[in-house]
Amino acid sequence: MPGLDVRWIHGAPDRTLAADPPLQVYAFDKDTYILRQSKCTNFEAPFLYLLFGTEKALLIDTGAGNVPVRAVVEGIIEQWQAIHDRPGLELVVAHSHGHEDHVAGDDQFRGRPGTTLVEPGVAAVERFFGFRNWPEAAAGFDLGERELTLLPTPGHMDGPVDDHLAVYDPLTQLMLSGDVFYPGFLYVRDGRPYRRSIERLVWFAAGHHVRYYLGCHIEMTRMKGLAYRSGTTYQPLEHVLELRPRHLAELHAALETMGDELTRTVLDHFILEPV
pLDDT in tens, 126-173: 999 999 999 999 999 999 999 999 999 999 998 788 999 999 999 999
Task: Give the confidence band of 1 by pLDDT, cuts at 50, 70, 90.
Answer: low
Q: In the chain, what is the straight-line distance between the N-terminal and C-terminal CA atoms, in Å? A: 35
Residue 8 lies in a domain: no
What pLDDT, on a 0 to 100 scale, did the predictor assign at position 16? 60
Q: Which domain holds residue 173?
A: 15-274
Gap between the Cα atoms of 39 and 8, Å rounded: 11
What pLDDT, on a 0 to 100 scale, did the predictor assign at position 14? 75
Task: Give the confidence band of 270 by pLDDT, cuts at 50, 70, 90.
Answer: very high
What pLDDT, on a 0 to 100 scale, did the predictor assign at position 259? 80
pLDDT surpassing 60 at residue 118 = yes
Digit-coded pLDDT (tens) for 40-98: 999 999 999 999 999 999 999 999 999 999 999 999 999 999 999 888 899 999 999 99
Q: Which long-range contacts (CB under 8 A, 24 or more apart) does 46-52 make?
A: 46/101, 46/102, 46/216, 46/217, 47/214, 47/215, 47/216, 47/217, 47/241, 48/23, 49/167, 49/176, 49/214, 50/76, 51/143, 51/146, 51/148, 51/169, 52/80, 52/89, 52/143, 52/146
Burial of 203 (0-12, 13-18, 19+ CB in 10 A): exposed
CA 269 to centroid of chain Cα atoms: 17
Quote the percentage of the chain above a pLDDT of 70: 98
Residue 40 lies in a domain: yes
Gap between the Cα atoms of 64 and 259, Å rounded: 34
Residues comprising the chain, all counted: 275
What pLDDT, on a 0 to 100 scale, did the predictor assign at position 15? 64
Residue 93 lies in a domain: yes
Residue 5 lies in a domain: no
Residue 1 lies in a domain: no
Buried/exposed 261-272: b ≥16 CB within 10 Å, e otherwise? ebeebebebbbb
- Within 13 Å, how many C-alpha atoms sit on residue 234's CB side? 8
What pLDDT, on a 0 to 100 scale, did the predictor assign at position 260? 79
Give how many domains the chain has, as a whole number.
1
- The helix (run of H) or strand (run of E) holding residue 56 is strand 56-60
Average pLDDT, the chain: 95
What pLDDT, on a 0 to 100 scale, did the predictor assign at position 223? 98
Residue 133 lies in a domain: yes
What pLDDT, on a 0 to 100 scale, did the predictor assign at position 18? 67
Identify any residues that bridge with 185 across adjacent strands, giving them in sequence order. Answer: 271
pLDDT surpassing 70 at residue 17 = no
Residue 237 lies in a domain: yes
Residue 46 lies in a domain: yes
SS3 category, 135: coil
- Within 13 Å, how many C-alpha atoms sit on residue 269's CB side? 19
CATH of the domain at 104: 3.60.15.10
Average pLDDT over residues 179-201: 97
pLDDT surpassing 90 at residue 201 = yes
